[in-house]
Amino acid sequence: MKKKNNMVELCRFLACYVIFSYHAGGRFTTGWIFVEFFFMLSGYFAIKHLVRMEGKIENKATYPIQYTIDKFKRLLPYTTVGFVADCIISAWKYQFTGMELVKWILYLPVNLFYLAGTGMMPADVPISDTVQTSYIMGGALWYICAMFVAMPVMMYLYLYLGKKIGPWLISFLPMLLYGYLIICDGTVNGWHADHGAFLAVDLRALAGMLAGGLIYVLSERIRRYRYKPVGTALLTLAELSLLAFVLCFACTSGFSQDGLLIGCFILLLSLMLSGKSLTARIQLQPLIWLGTLSLPIYCIHEAVIISFWGYEIEKWNMFLIIFVAALILHLLVKLGKPLFGALGRGLKKLCCYPEQDA
């Protein structure tokens, strides 16, 4: 079994904490660049997978869809809890009754299956006299819905155009997409409601994942060389300096150099994923556990924050509650996988005839 990059796992956890702190009104006054971290990381692994599968993919027309579905099935237990919790908390908060509650619940399936990212459920649909639908339930989960739409697009582009315009596809095109968002609203961050809302954030997800392809190419270039101790030390210093710079930016809402920050993150991940710096030698099991918990933390943190909104509770105490809840959720999902697998096989056996060889 291949060892995980402990520094990447630590950054997953840090990204979740920064975003939580921003949403809870804590020390970090912005967190959008760490959403790009998840886009870029997903793009990196998808492109890496396609490169390794070159010549082995029998049906290019269906492979990106199948890869995306397989990837997002693993997220489904966690995101389902996030969406359902938001649905229940909002229904309680706004005291929906009767048809209001029915209309609100009917809004849930579109979110559960990540279809909010397609724009199928329009915003501003009246639920009650004072409440209208937003673009998505569980607002923090928008990035997962956007990635669900953008990932197969990114993979199709790379499969069919990678050999012809690969360098342009993973460098100039993401810059062009990011530039479009910056020209529209002055920043990559935000809903871009005046420019198509989810269409705009889908483009943002596509840009981030294509940039992940650039990270893959750069990390492989860095990996190709053998470094003396001085070279290894310089790579480590550059990596840690870039990480510190981005974290400092996350404490400063007035810093508006989006292009610079995206460029820094591309370099940071390229160094980190190359495995050539000293941080790649860190092997601590607790960091793996923190990285594993980043997904359940991200999926439920907004519901917990909303539940305690208006109450005097320290941010650290709130994060401790989220951490414990995420740990319990992760253990339940891990224990429940064999049960649900057996249930699925049982239903298939009950409802379907055995597959016959051609």
**Residue 356, pLDDT score:** 62
Which of 25 and 178 is assigned the larger pLDDT?
178
Residue 320 covered by a domain: no
In terms of Cβ atoms closer than 10 Å to its own Cβ (0-12, 13-18, 19+), residue 182 is middle
Residue 14 covered by a domain: no
Six-digit token string for 77 = 């237990």
Q: Is the pLDDT of residue 17 over 60?
A: yes
Q: Is the pLDDT of residue 13 over 70?
A: yes
**Residue 26, pLDDT score:** 79
**Residue 242, pLDDT score:** 95
**Residue 119, pLDDT score:** 83
Instruction: Give the 3-state secondary structure of residue 61.
Output: coil
DSSP 126: B
Looking at the structure of the chain, the number of domains it has is 1
The backbone torsions φ and ψ at residue 254, rounded to the nearest 5 degrees and listed phi first, read -80, -5
Q: Give 16's contacts (C-beta < 8 A, 6+ positions apart).
A: 294, 297, 298, 301
In terms of Cβ atoms closer than 10 Å to its own Cβ (0-12, 13-18, 19+), residue 56 is exposed
Question: What is the Cα–Cα distance from 149 to 159, expressed in whole angstroms?
Answer: 17
CA distances from 208 to 26, 43, 74, 176, 225 (A): 26, 7, 21, 11, 27
Mean of pLDDT values over 129-144: 88
Domain limits at 32?
28-272
**Residue 191, pLDDT score:** 77
Six-digit token string for 353 = 């005839």
Most confident of 27-31, 80-84, 120-124, 196-200: 80-84
CA distances from 106 to 102, 127, 141 (A): 6, 11, 18
Residue 15 covered by a domain: no
Q: Which among 150, 170, 122 is positioned nearest to 35, based on CA atoms?
A: 150
Q: Is the pLDDT of residue 358 over 50?
A: no
Six-digit token string for 204 = 């943002």
Which of 315 and 147 is assigned the larger pLDDT?
147
Residue 190 covered by a domain: yes
Task: Answer yes or no: are the C-beta atoms of 3 and 287 closer than 8 Å.
Answer: no
Which helix (H) or strand (E) element contains residue 173?
helix 142-185
CA 166 to chain centre: 24
Mean of pLDDT values over 4-26: 90
**Residue 298, pLDDT score:** 94
Task: Answer yes or no: are the C-beta atoms of 211 and 266 closer than 8 Å.
Answer: yes
Residue 347 covered by a domain: no
CA 145 to chain centre: 9
Predicted TM-score of the model (pTM): 0.92
Six-digit token string for 146 = 């956007």
Residue 115 covered by a domain: yes
DSSP 312: -
Most confident of 65-79, 326-340, 341-355: 65-79
> How many residues does the structure list for the chain?
358
**Residue 357, pLDDT score:** 54
Q: Is the pLDDT of residue 40 over 60?
A: yes
Residue 286 covered by a domain: no
Residue 189 covered by a domain: yes
The backbone torsions φ and ψ at residue 126, rounded to the nearest 5 degrees and listed phi first, read -65, 130
- pLDDT > 70 in the chain, percent: 96
**Residue 50, pLDDT score:** 94
Question: What is the Cα–Cα distance from 118 to 35, expressed in whole angstroms?
Answer: 19
Q: pLDDT digits over 223-274, tens only?
A: 999 999 999 999 999 999 999 998 888 877 666 788 899 999 999 999 999 9
DSSP 4: P
Confidence band for 41, pLDDT divided at 50, 70 and 90: very high
Which of 342 and 87 is assigned the larger pLDDT?
87
**Residue 207, pLDDT score:** 96
The backbone torsions φ and ψ at residue 189, rounded to the nearest 5 degrees and listed phi first, read -75, 155
Which of 358 and 96 is assigned the larger pLDDT?
96
